[in-house]
Structure 1
Amino acid sequence: MYRRPLPTPDEALKILSRRRTRPPMRVPPPAGKSLAKFIRELDKKYGHGPGALQARWKEIVGENLARRTEPVRIIKSRTGEGGTLELRVDGPVASLIQHQVPQITQRLDLLLGKGVVSRLRIVQGPVRAAAAASAPPRPRRRPPLDAAKERDLAASLSDQPDGPLKEALLKLGRGVLRNES
């Protein structure tokens, strides 16, 4: 087998000056980056997803079920028929939801359009709405006592010495008189 000898440095320079080397191929940008603007426009125009459902979920299922359920995502079918709405449900409420599937899908048809959602997929797990609902309610501000009742209460406690006991009795008296009204 015959091997050619390597070129000398001068010959190598001549060869390289005659032949241009190609620059390496650039890595294509991520598809999500180039499609982001297009997707935003489509979402504004046709934005039917769990975000749109969460805003109106109380209207669809009612306040009691809305506290114990939340829409997670809409799964489109491969055949092009109606999709599946995945619901996260808090514990035993799943049986209630299962009985109300026809009513819920009818209401979803009104909101999203006929046939967008044809089935419900129930997944049991923690619900964010339940955590927000379990926060202690803020105390309501009660209206002040009318002047005549306040005067009668102060007169009945006038013989008590000033101090924390008198303040506590005034507070208790105001609470009792408000509840009587």
Structure 2
Amino acid sequence: MAAKPLAELIDDLLAPALAAQGFAGRSVVTFWPEIVGERLAERTRPLKIDWPRRRNAPGETADPATLVVRVEGAFALEMQQLGPIVLERVNTHLGWRAVGKLVLKQGPVSAPARAQALPPPDPAALARIAAQVARVEDSGLREALARLGRAVAQRRKAASDDTAS
């Protein structure tokens, strides 16, 4: 049996919990910082999506859902003013006008875990990376590959430093 990436398995594991909160998938929760921006994401969390209870008759347009968001108390007024923009961004992310109303619930918002800074890669690794990508003609692709190489080298160095200690 071949190993599966964790990303393929996580949807199946989280689906029941997210469905209980009205989320069809994990994308709104997972991509919340990308949807609303880092500044809003630090002070808010999507809690659930309340879908309308009644079913529409054939040909009748569906009523939009209500997005319930936890927000830190002092930030609630600003979030209320930004509500139309947040709704637009959520709907753009979902690809249709799913959410039409925003409800704010004041309360503490736990800070997302910050990744520890990785040590810089050693100069020999940087030289190898530069030599490997030097033949790539497209400058954007060359720089992207170099960034990827530096990130891999940093992770490898951090892993080797952890096992050495």
Question: How does the TM-score come out when normalised to structure 2?
Answer: 0.49
Structure scoring higher RCO (CA < 8 A, sep ≥ 6) equals 2
Greater C-alpha Rg:
1
TM-score, with normalisation over the residues of structure 1?
Answer: 0.45
